[in-house]
């Protein structure tokens, strides 16, 4: 339990960092709080140095009407963190009828998304874009289409054949990205493309940005520091959407990150109960926990810790803070906030590392450095976090 500390603490050898921002978190509540709750999500945020998240509309009922948005707003106002509701693009996320974006906007929803569901067909998507343009809201679209991906479980290449698992082709992402970009140019909507995995997809977005299309994008850190060779262990916690790509794709995306061409990272925190991860790889539900270990996990990818930390903070704090309309990255609920990190604090990752009754992390059993020692929220220090 968090307790208040004196106004001064010893920060020798430690890092004072702005709160991290996550644009794609699934906290399940309302309706699925037996899996994961808003309170548990907030606990995970504090443990991992996060101050703000945008929720996935994957609740029960789906966040496709003003009553659900209103309920989420009421619950999150009680917490000391910035938790933003996100409305669904279509009713019940079925991709057929447009959701009531106007009424959800009146309750404070700023963003709307298809979550991890497939994009609607092009005619429906165009109607969604035109509606959103009228409301001047931003759409956060996950670009994938069921008819192209089919039942794909892993990246489609020679390794998927070796594993005997249905592949998810790279072309599926590029086709979906192109569809969304063309419709964004046609309608003038503000568009954010989520979870791009390919350098070619990113280059497509850059091309449309140069044409004046109002489009941004993010990349999951997992697609920068992991590839589908990790799947040889058939660890069900490496089953994510979109799938881990081939090593060539991973290296190309990492190179773009090093060049500063990936402005926003988004880690897609997705809790899954153990009974849905203890199945065979093909039967397990996709999803990986990211909030608690996002920075410690990512900082391992380079020996140049200062450089990788600086890039990480720009992409996982400063830039997404701007998207949320914050005046400063050091801000939570309109007040100054920050986190104190100890780079030498060692933790063994186990079930107790994570909030709630979930532990679907591909870092289980590993030893990681970097840990949050304290948070400054609501004009006081909170410590310890975990």
DSSP 35: T
Are the CB atoms for 93 and 58 separated by under 8 Å? Answer: yes
Beta bridge partners of 167: 154
Spacing of C-alpha 349 from chain mean position? 21
Are the CB atoms for 214 and 189 separated by under 8 Å? Answer: yes
* Closest C-alpha to 44, from 324, 331, 292: 292
Confidence at residue 2, expressed as pLDDT on a 0 to 100 scale: 44
Confidence at residue 243, expressed as pLDDT on a 0 to 100 scale: 95
Confidence at residue 1, expressed as pLDDT on a 0 to 100 scale: 42
Confidence at residue 25, expressed as pLDDT on a 0 to 100 scale: 97
Which region, left, alpha or beta, applies to residue 333 given φ > 0 means left and ψ of -120 to 50 means alpha? left
Confidence at residue 145, expressed as pLDDT on a 0 to 100 scale: 87
DSSP 142: -
Confidence at residue 7, expressed as pLDDT on a 0 to 100 scale: 56
Confidence at residue 182, expressed as pLDDT on a 0 to 100 scale: 98
Query: How many Å apart are CA 226 and CA 82, to the nearest integer?
Result: 29
Confidence at residue 4, expressed as pLDDT on a 0 to 100 scale: 47
- Cβ atoms within 10 Å, residue 162: 10
Are the CB atoms for 219 and 198 separated by under 8 Å? Answer: no
What is the chain's pLDDT, residue by residue, as a tens digit (386 residues)? 444 444 577 889 999 999 999 999 999 999 999 999 999 999 999 999 999 999 999 999 999 999 999 999 999 999 999 999 999 999 999 999 999 999 999 999 999 999 999 999 999 999 999 999 999 999 999 999 888 887 788 999 999 999 899 999 999 999 999 999 999 999 999 999 999 999 999 999 999 999 999 999 999 999 999 999 999 988 999 999 999 999 999 999 999 999 999 999 999 999 999 999 988 888 999 999 999 999 999 999 999 999 999 999 999 999 999 999 999 999 999 999 999 999 999 999 999 999 999 999 999 999 999 999 999 998 888 875 55
Confidence at residue 343, expressed as pLDDT on a 0 to 100 scale: 97
Spacing of C-alpha 77 from chain mean position? 21
Find all residues with CB under 8 Å of 333, minimum gap 6, and list them.
Answer: 80, 81, 82, 378
Tokens of 129: 């874009």
Query: How many Å apart are CA 215 and CA 132, to the nearest integer?
Result: 14
- Length in residues, the chain: 386
SS3 assignment, position 2: coil
């Amino acid at each position: 339990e968090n307790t208040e500390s004196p106004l001064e603490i010893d920060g020798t050898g430690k890092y004072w960092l702005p709160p991290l921002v996550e644009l794609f978190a699934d906290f399940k509540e309302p309706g699925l709080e037996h899996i994961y709750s808003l309170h548990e999500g907030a606990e995970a945020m504090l443990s991992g140095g996060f101050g703000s998240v945008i929720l996935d509309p994957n609740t029960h009922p789906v966040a496709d009407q003003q009553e659900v948005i209103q309920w989420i707003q009421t619950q999150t106002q009680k917490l000391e963190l910035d938790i933003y509701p996100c409305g669904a693009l279509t009713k019940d996320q079925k991709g057929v009828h447009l959701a009531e974006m106007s009424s959800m906007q009146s309750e404070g929803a700023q963003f709307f998304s298809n979550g991890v569901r497939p994009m609607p067909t092009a005619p429906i998507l165009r109607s969604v874009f035109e509606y959103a343009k009228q409301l001047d809201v931003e759409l956060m679209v996950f670009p994938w289409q069921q008819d192209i991906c089919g039942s794909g479980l892993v990246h489609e290449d020679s390794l998927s054949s070796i594993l005997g698992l249905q592949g998810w082709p790279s072309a599926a992402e590029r086709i979906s990205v192109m569809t969304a970009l063309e419709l964004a140019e046609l309608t003038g909507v503000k568009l954010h493309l989520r979870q791009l995995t390919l350098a070619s997809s990113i280059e497509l977005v850059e091309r449309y940005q140069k044409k004046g299309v109002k489009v941004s994008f993010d990349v999951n850190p997992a697609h920068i520091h992991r590839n589908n060779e990790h799947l040889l262990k058939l660890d069900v916690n490496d089953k994510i959407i979109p799938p881990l790509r081939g090593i060539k794709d991973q290296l190309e995306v990492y190179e773009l990150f090093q060049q500063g061409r990936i402005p926003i990272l988004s880690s897609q925190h997705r809790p899954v109960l153990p009974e849905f991860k203890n199945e065979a790889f093909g039967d397990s539900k996709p999803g990986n926990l990211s909030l608690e270990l996002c920075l410690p996990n990512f900082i391992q990818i380079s020996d140049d810790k200062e450089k990788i930390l600086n890039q990480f903070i720009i992409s996982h704090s400063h830039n997404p803070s701007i998207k949320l309309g914050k005046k400063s990255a050091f801000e939570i609920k309109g007040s100054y906030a920050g986190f104190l990190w100890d780079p030498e604090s060692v933790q063994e990752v186990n079930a107790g590392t994570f909030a709630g009754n979930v532990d679907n992390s591909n870092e289980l059993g590993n030893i990681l450095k970097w840990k949050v020692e304290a948070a400054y929220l609501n004009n006081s220090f909170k410590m310890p976090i975990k």
